[in-house]
Amino acid sequence: MQTRVLTGITTTGTPHLGNYVGAIRPAVEASKRDDVDAFYFMADYHALIKSDDADRIERSRLEIAATWLAAGLDPQRVTFYRQSDVPEIPELTWFLTCVAAKGMLNRAHAYKAAVDRNTETGEDADAGINAGLYMYPVLMAADILAFDANKVPVGRDQIQHIEMARDLGQRFNHIHGREFFVLPEALIEEQVATLPGMDGRKMSKSYDNTIPLFAGGKKQLRETIMRIVTDSSLPGEPKDPDSSALFTIFRAFASEVETAAFRKALLDGIGWGDAKQVLYERIESDVAPMRERYEALIADPIGIETILQQGALKARAIATPKMAALRDALGLRSASPVVHVSKASPPQVATKSSKMPRFASFRDVDGSFRFRLFSAEGEELLLSVPFADPKAGGVLQKRIKAAGTDGVVLQVDALRIVLELDGEPVASSTHYHDELTCEAALSQLRQALDQLAAQA
Ligand code: TRP
């Protein structure tokens, strides 16, 4: 049994160390476990509540996607997508809005804090507050409930939102008399739930105390670390590790042995400047290889787009049939029995690419060559095995083009399609989430192969 783990990251601003330690790193680690079915997405609709700066939103979406991928997220394994590419989410938001108690939303921390600020300054209670902020918990509940997530890793500040998602799921289930939704649970990483920022308070954009993960490179990383606030004790004076933000940040990156050594160094009176250098070097040794991948990814926005479109397809293959069941339960039924959209066919993604299936070759991180086969609609169908020689890949593409469905063997193994030539596996699909999706992909692949053969 797999546990479905889902989390979102709001796409405002640039990822910082707190995001990495508190959310990205544990999420990437969890996604590698066999008992975890991970759904990670960019909450770009949530971002619109806080920002109307289109360029910033665009930039942030790209940076965050590249960050997660650079941190080791495998999009073949995980369902990685943007909220705004899944129209089922806003649709579900409305269904949940209609069962949400307004009083519950009045009590949401973020909204209440905004009202309190207004009241304190003698303003009208709702001055300057958009309804997006008010509805934030409902949109978030839709994010979670649309995919029947079991566990939602979040920071402590988000626990109330998960409780509201449970409440909304429960209400809907109760009103409509069936277990439509799995009720999610918050997952809090006790160890590293929050990282302190430069001033010792929780590292957060709203406190302007963040240490950037990649932005500005290692120079910026070092400079920011050097500006972490410390007490005024001098070199030689013992320093209390447990009241030092430096130590807390160090511990989030280091092994137990390294942490014990750093604790001792502080107690032994290491100067703050030297302690900061130690901290910088420890972080940089983790960040440097990721930064390199990050820069390569950022330089290829179309590559990222392709990955995210694939992710949206995987996500929608789950959300679309679920929404159909909900619409039916709500009475949003079609009177015509004739117009039936097959639930088996995953939604199509329109792309600007040509109307024919196509191959795309690329060089993998390990230096080998591979290619992908995309459907006419731009969906990834197959990823080839690696080749040392790019020509070998080219030859194989020609053979596949000429072969058609009848000239190859297509095996389905554990919800994954493998294409064989001469008894050798040469390319395979992603692992699909369920049989319907896998079957739909298989028929798409057959169609693509035949289209190619017809043209060859
Ligand atoms: N509100 C979350 C945050 O600020 C981001 C988010 C949006 C989210 N939708 C979600 C997290 C769904 C978990 C599940 O951190």
In 3D, which of 202, 205, 181 has the Cα closest to residue 193?
Answer: 202
Same domain, 178 and 225: no
Look at residue 112 and tell me if it is in a domain: yes
Q: What is the mean pLDDT of the chain?
A: 91
Same domain, 32 and 133: yes
* Contact 7 CB / ligand 1 (< 6 Å): yes
Range of the domain at 278: 214-298
Cα(114) to ligand 1 centroid in Å equals 19
CATH number of the domain enclosing 227? 1.10.240.10
- The tokens for 217 are 């490179």
Identify the pLDDT of residue 340. 43
Residue 425, H or E segment:
strand 424-431
Strand stretches in 32-153, DSSP E: 36-43, 79-82, 151-153
**Segment 202-215, tens digit of pLDDT:** 998 889 999 999 99
The residue among 266, 298, 330 that closes a domain is: 298
Same domain, 157 and 41: yes
Would you put residue 239 in left (φ > 0), alpha (ψ -120 to 50) or beta? beta
Residue nearest to atom 14 of ligand 1 (CA): 7
Look at residue 323 and tell me if it is in a domain: no
Atom of ligand 1 nearest to the CA of 23: 15
Same domain, 63 and 103: yes
Say how far apart CA 224 and CA 219 lie, in whole Å.
Answer: 9
* Contact 158 CB / ligand 1 (< 6 Å): yes
Residues 441/350, Cβ–Cβ less than 8 Å: no
Look at residue 326 and tell me if it is in a domain: no
* Contact 140 CB / ligand 1 (< 6 Å): yes
Residues 115/350, Cβ–Cβ less than 8 Å: no
Provide the pLDDT confidence category of residue 341 given band limits of 50, 70 and 90: very low
Same domain, 232 and 172: no
* Contact 309 CB / ligand 1 (< 6 Å): no
Least confident of 251-255, 277-281, 290-294, 362-366: 362-366
Put the strands of the sheet holding 358-363 in their side by side order.
358-363, 369-374, 380-384, 424-431, 416-421, 409-413
Total structural domains within the chain: 3
Look at residue 449 and tell me if it is in a domain: yes
Same domain, 232 and 269: yes
Q: Are strands 79-82 and 36-43 parallel, antiparallel or unpaired?
A: parallel
Q: Tell me the whole-structure pTM to 2 decimals.
A: 0.72
* Contact 143 CB / ligand 1 (< 6 Å): yes
Cα(139) to ligand 1 centroid in Å equals 9
Same domain, 289 and 408: no
**Segment 82-110, tens digit of pLDDT:** 999 999 999 999 999 999 999 999 999 99
* Contact 27 CB / ligand 1 (< 6 Å): no
Look at residue 440 and tell me if it is in a domain: yes
Look at residue 141 and tell me if it is in a domain: yes
